[in-house]
Amino acid sequence: MTRFLGIDGNLVAGFDLPTDFVEAWNKILVTNDFLNVFIGELDPRHMYGVSNQDNFRWPTVNNGTDKYLLGLYIITLELPGIPLILWGEE
């Protein structure tokens, strides 16, 4: 999400997702196990979010609140699982 929102900088680590959003989404679908082993059906139990107490605070970024809301909107609509929403953004 930080790459999509344009706040990731130029650092790339070895096992990062591709920078293209479509390629990254495909990599997530291929590498994450969304199948329930007991029933053999799609049953995602992941928590996704754009906020974390260990990361930067969104209001400190230029247009950070808008970027936070856009990221949360995309994650809530697109990614299977539970949206992770934390409190405490100052």
Share of the chain above pLDDT 90, in %: 0
Tens digit of pLDDT for each residue in 12-40? 666 777 778 788 878 877 777 777 778 87
Kindly state whether residue 3 falls inside one of the protein's structural domains.
no
Per-residue model confidence (pLDDT) at position 79: 75
Which one has a higher pLDDT value, 76 or 15? 76
The pTM of this model reads: 0.58
Contacts 24+ apart (CB under 8 A), 48-55: 48/75, 48/79, 48/81, 48/82, 48/83, 48/84, 49/75, 49/83, 49/84, 49/85, 49/86, 50/1, 50/75, 51/84, 51/85, 51/86, 51/89, 52/86, 53/86, 53/88
Per-residue model confidence (pLDDT) at position 17: 78
Query: Per the structure, how many domains does the chain have?
Result: 1
Domain of residue 66, residue span: 21-83
Kindly state whether residue 11 falls inside one of the protein's structural domains.
no
